[in-house]
Structure 1
Amino acid sequence: MIKVERLNKIYQVPLKDPGFWGSLKSVFSREYRQVHAVNEISFTIEPGERVGFLGPNGAGKTTTLKMLTGLLYPTSGTCEVAGFRPQDRHVAFLKDITLVMGQKQQLLWDLPATETFLLNRALFDIPHSQYAETLTELTELLDLADFADQPVRNLSLGQRMRCELAAALLHRPKVLFLDEPTIGLDVQVQAQVRRFIAEYNQRYGATVMLTSHDMNDVAALCRRIILIDQGVVRFDGSLEDLSRTFGTGRQVSVRGPRDLLEKMGFAQDDDRMVRLVPRQEVNELLGEVLRQIPSAEVTVADPPLEEVLRRAFSAEGEE
């Protein structure tokens, strides 16, 4: 469904000395430096997969998504999505994909979301019967009935985001590119959006490529992770493999007296005290905790995904 081979995107960034003379010089003799936003990346995503495409700010995530959706032309390399070259912007290709960006909107601000739905029906040439059927399904899945007819400017952020998803999926795309789809949403709406994406994936067999800084999105939706940093793919594998590779320890969580636990190296995390330790030291630490606090409530788990990713990118930066 998505095939990327040695994909590159290089930007030419102008160089200029400071001050008036620097500006004047750049008019007649401009110099440039090359910035490799995406550098020789390759991967394949099969139909129906849900893949997390993760990396720090400036890693090349959004640039990659824009190339895969045809918004940017690659400098070199090839990419294929749903059997098309994205940069050709073929009409059939545009009907097979959608790009949802949490910080962008397509809804018409002063009109109800239903007006945007009708506009998209015309743009994508959706048959009336399919449009009615899909809109009914999306209204039910996203719980839009109470506000879809209100002007968009009157909607909350969560309501707008749900309408954005509906507008983006009315044409039943086969490939979903989601860039921070839950950014700024409250916990309840985030959970609703995640459930909807999973349901859409299962119902239509759609391929999902997700970028997000919210690891709850990733843990709930993605079994496979691709890590990108400085334009280079650093890891491609399952969540379990990611934890085994970079999550070198275990997280011990304890409910008990804070002062005693702080002396043992624990730190406050909500209503618990937590500490990350190497796997081979877990039993020793548990014995020490239970000797000093026999009534302590103790749990041991893999470290949070945020911690695993922090270690992953720290390790790459040290190479």
Structure 2
Amino acid sequence: MIEVQHLCKTFRVAKRGAGFGQAVKTLFHREYEEVKALDDVSFSIREGEMVGYIGPNGAGKSSTIKILSGILTPDSGVCRISGKVPWKDRTAHVKDIGVVFGQRTQLWWDVPVMDSYELLKDIYSISNDTYQSNLEELTSLLNLSELLKTPARQLSLGQRMRCEIAASLLHSPKILFLDEPTIGLDAVSKLAVRDFIVKCNEKYHTTVILTTHDMQDIEALTNRIILIGKGKILLDGTLFDIPGVGKGLDQAVADLYRRFRI
């Protein structure tokens, strides 16, 4: 399903000191620093797996997801998803994936949620029968009936995230990328989102890749974790492969970060 081999990605970041003088100086001489976001990253994920992709801020999680979804092109390495190269076969690839970025939206801000869904239907060329069937099921499972006529800007964060997840699944994707999908949600909304993701995986055998700092999400949803730090894969296994997990997952993961100095 997903094969990643030796991915590397480096970003060139402009640097300058604080103050007006330094700002003027950069007009004539700009200094750059190269940041290695991904450094020889390799892994494979089978169809139907639910994988937690974890690591501290700046570890390379979002860069990996953006490459897997075709948004970024790596400097080197191989990535094939269902036989397609994401950044080369983007039109065909996006029909097989759904992406939810917890801090970004794919809903149009000032129009009712239903209008955004209708536009996504046209973008993905979803047939009328498939669209109606998926919409009815998602509306029921995620309790969206009262939200579809509401503009996205008037929704609470929890309401919007439920609508975002539904939007990513309207076209029946085979793979779901979830980047911080429960960020800022209350306990009730978190449980509703987790329960839905599990049902989606069980019913449709959807492959799920979850990146989050919430270890409760990892524990509730995934049976495999991949730990990345400083652009390198440091651990690929189950939760029980984390030393000291018996004393609490959050503490065990924090200790693991310190052990690897990330």
- TM-score, length-scaled by structure 1: 0.78
Count of matched residue pairs: 262
Q: Does the 8 A contact of 2:70 with 2:90 survive in 1?
A: no
Name 2:2's counterpart in structure 1.
2
Code of the aligned partner of 2:110? D
Name 1:13's counterpart in structure 2.
13
User: How many Å apart are 1:14 and its aligned residue?
Assistant: 3.2
Unaligned segments of structure 2, at least 5 residues: none
User: How many Å apart are 1:109 and its aligned residue?
Assistant: 2.0
In structure 2, distance between residues paired with 1:136 and 1:19: 56
Name 1:315's counterpart in structure 2.
259
Deviations 1:219-241 (A, max 9, x none): 00001000011111110001122
Name 1:247's counterpart in structure 2.
244
- TM-score, length-scaled by structure 2: 0.94
In structure 1, distance between residues paired with 2:138 and 2:235: 35
User: How many Å apart are 1:24 and its aligned residue?
Assistant: 5.9
Secondary structure of the residue that 2:104 maps to in structure 1? coil
Choose 193-202 or 154-163, whichever is displaced more.
154-163
Name 1:94's counterpart in structure 2.
94
Name 1:68's counterpart in structure 2.
68
Give the aligned CA root-mean-square deviation in angstroms. Answer: 1.8
Q: Does the 8 A contact of 2:6 with 2:78 survive in 1?
A: yes
Percent pairwise identity: 46
Secondary structure of the residue that 1:53 maps to in structure 2? strand
Unaligned segments of structure 1, at least 5 residues: 249-301
Name 1:84's counterpart in structure 2.
84
Whose relative contact order is higher, 1 or 2, with alpha carbons under 8 Å and at least 6 apart? 2
Secondary structure of the residue that 1:91 maps to in structure 2? helix
In structure 2, distance between residues paired with 1:142 and 1:162: 6
User: How many Å apart are 1:3 and its aligned residue?
Assistant: 1.0
Q: Does the 8 A contact of 2:53 with 2:227 survive in 1?
A: yes
Q: Does the 8 A contact of 2:38 with 2:232 survive in 1?
A: yes
User: How many Å apart are 1:110 and its aligned residue?
Assistant: 2.1
Choose 25-34 or 171-180, whichever is displaced more.
25-34
Name 2:247's counterpart in structure 1.
303
In structure 2, distance between residues paired with 1:71 and 1:63: 9
In structure 2, distance between residues paired with 1:156 and 1:150: 11
User: How many Å apart are 1:127 and its aligned residue?
Assistant: 0.4
